Structure 1
């Protein structure tokens, strides 16, 4: 029996989401895994958008419950951090005690992105080195790719967090980090 891997990430929002997820599924199968991805199950027709959203959430949870492993695309999406849905999925799998891997296609640290993209360089440092934004809120400075709970959750469970730098036009579509996660997970769990 092969391990089932849940493919999480903001690719579901791409105009060619089906093709991208199909390619990721092909790569997972080639590495020896059985891929499970959002969109694999039929979403029932509902009377409202709200009910449809609840149905999609339930289906994705079903897929995660059936999975042994998650590979999460934690590339910043619509802001300075990973997609919030993908972050939920990573936390869900961590809570289940499943194997967790993640990758990002943006090499800049969370601190760099917060300073540059959110505060536009307007950060302060006190005598102890604590960083704050122009609004007085403290800023995480742990040399991590995103919020410490994401990378910490992966590393503390024996997973790997891969950080890549890819051209802007390929940030949400480049699969080098995904492939590296597949290789590392296969070496650990399938050999």
Structure 2
């Protein structure tokens, strides 16, 4: 790699009780692999004089500027508050993909989207097949593409030159485990060393 590439670190980690510590640790790991980490957008902002809504907008715009400055993204797409990835992180993946930047993503769940949907969301209730379409008990179509999450997230990673690492975390800290994060960094280093 010639100049140090900058990585936008995305995920629900910002909601953790120890968010600053986690982001600092991720930043250190990013540097170990020869990349420059993004920083938390909130670090450069103050809520003084703003309503909660205005401060939320300021954070969103600051995150967009950080993504504009980055060369690629590593997104923690581990299911968060449900069966799928954090919605804000999913937006960030799409934002980077729309800019033609590589998307490296990981999930600390080894179970695919279909398994989480049928087992966790529908609680194992029987599915039906209507005119060749699999439907849940609520009548909604159930997609089964063998992907880690919604097909748009898997597609963004696969088609951008990045990857989507999905494997079961080994410890108790399912959301915070960094083994798959490191694998994304290895893949990103290989991606950029080949250029």
* Secondary structure of 2:138 counterpart: coil
1:121 matched to which residue of 2? 124
- Asked whether 1:158 is paired with 2:161, we answer yes
The question of 1:86 aligning with 2:89 is answered yes
Partner of 2:145: 142
Q: Which residue of 2 aligns with 1:37?
A: 39
- Determine which of 185, 188, 191 is the counterpart of 2:188: 185
Once the 2 structures are TM-superposed, how far is the Cα of residue 111 of structure 1 from its aligned partner? 0.6
1:37-87 Cα shifts (integer Å, max 9, x gaps): 324741133421001100100111110000000000000000000000000
Measured against aligned partners, the alpha-carbon deviations of 1:157-182 in whole angstroms (never above 9, x if no partner) come to 12111011015731111000000000
Distance 1:129 1:37, change over 3 A: farther
Q: Secondary structure at the match of 2:118?
A: helix
Q: Which runs of 5+ in 2 are unaligned?
A: none
Contact 1:71 1:178 in 2 (8 A): yes
Contact preservation (8 Å) 2:41, 2:66: no
Match of 1:112 among 110, 115, 120: 115
2:161 touches 2:191 (CA, 8 Å); kept in 1?
A: no
Residues 103-135 of structure 1 deviation map (CA, whole Å, 9 limit, x = unaligned): 000011101100111111113232765321111
Identify the residue that residue 171 of structure 1 maps to in structure 2.
Answer: 174
Q: RMSD over aligned Cα, in angstroms? A: 1.6
Would you identify which runs of 4 or more consecutive aligned residues in structure 1 move more than 6 Å?
none
CA distance in 2, matches of 1:93, 1:78: 23
1:121–1:168 CA distance, 2 compared to 1 (3 A) = farther
Aligned-partner SS, 1:173 = coil
Is 1:70 the counterpart of 2:91? The answer is: no
Contact kept in structure 2, 1:102 and 1:161, CA below 8 Å: yes
Instruction: Give unmatched runs, 5+ long, in structure 1.
Output: none
Between 41-50 and 176-185, the greater mean CA deviation after superposition: 41-50
TM-score between both structures, scaled by the size of structure 2: 0.93
Rounded Cα–Cα distance in structure 2 between residues aligned with 1:39 and 1:101: 20
Query: Number of residue pairs matched?
Result: 191
Match of 1:13 among 15, 39, 46: 15
